Amino acid sequence: MLARSETDLIQRRSLHLELVDRIRPLIVESHLAAGTKVPERDLCAQFDVSRTPLREALKVLAAEGLVRLEPNRGAWVTRVTVEEVREVFPILGVLEALSGELACANITDAEIGAVQVLHDAMVQSYRDRDLTAYFRINQQIHRAILVAARNPTLTNACQALSARMQRARYAANMSDARWSAAVAEHEEIMTCLAARDGKRLSEVLMGHMRNKQDSVLRWLESEAAN
């Protein structure tokens, strides 16, 4: 009986984490708009699940800062604020910079090759003007560098902060000028990674995050003006 209960627990936990992975893109890509109530009944029907795993998933998304849980009012998609961007991005920049330095010290040739494949696919998505694919592959590249750093604590901290900014970063990439600049920055990231130049990659990643912060702030200002 104990073994069966443990198995059931793992299955339930896996289900709500799968829901997190399904709902997060809906928020990041603004299919669930900022400031709106999360349509729990519709999501249950869409994913054919009960309210219990959905609400567990919403708790995880709340911890990531993507939704806000209100007693007796349900879950609401949060808005990204200027204050939050100015608070989070400098820390994220430091963490990304450290990940680059550590990755260059630990990454294997096979891992560099895998990141290069991702980079080539990301550049093609840029040429195709496929922002959704570009953003997804971009996140995979940053994740691969984090993994190559061989520091789980750093990875967890960086992923948690990155999740809070994903939606704004996705929207800010809509600018053609910023999109082009970001691709150029990623070209330099690959050059540094291939050369295992940790010091330079650290600087490039820090600048990459700084430029991203500036573009997000410009996006927020334009949103406020409309």
CATH number for domain 82-225, candidates 3.40.50.12780, 1.10.1380.10, 1.10.10.10, 1.20.120.530 = 1.20.120.530
pLDDT computed for residue 140 by the predictor: 96
List the Cα angle 175/82/145 in 5-degree steps: 65
The three-class DSSP label of residue 77 is: strand
**How many other C-beta atoms lie within 10 A of the C-beta of residue 5?**
9
Token reading at 78: 């949060």
CA dist., res. 38 & res. 130, Å (int): 27
| b/e map 39-74, b = 16+ CB within 10 Å | eeeebbeeeebeeebbbbbbebbeebbbbbeeeeee
Question: Which residue type sits at 66?
Answer: L
pLDDT computed for residue 148 by the predictor: 98
pLDDT by 10s per residue, the chain, length 226: 444 444 444 455 589 999 999 999 899 888 999 899 999 999 999 999 999 999 999 999 999 889 999 999 999 999 999 999 999 999 999 999 999 999 999 999 999 999 999 999 999 999 999 988 999 999 999 999 999 999 999 999 998 889 888 888 887 766 788 889 999 999 999 999 999 999 999 999 999 999 999 999 988 888 777 7
Annotated domain spans of the chain: 2-77, 82-225
Rg (CA), the chain: 19
CATH number for domain 2-77, candidates 3.30.429.10, 1.10.10.10, 3.20.20.140, 3.40.190.10 = 1.10.10.10
Burial class (CB in 10 A: 0-12, 13-18, 19+), 184: exposed
90-117 tens-digit pLDDT? 999 999 999 999 999 999 999 999 999 9
Phi, psi angle pair for 72, to nearest 5°: 65, 5
Token reading at 131: 């922002």
Token reading at 182: 């970001």
Write the CA distances from 96 to 77, 109, 150, 156, 197, integer angstroms. Answer: 26, 21, 13, 12, 15
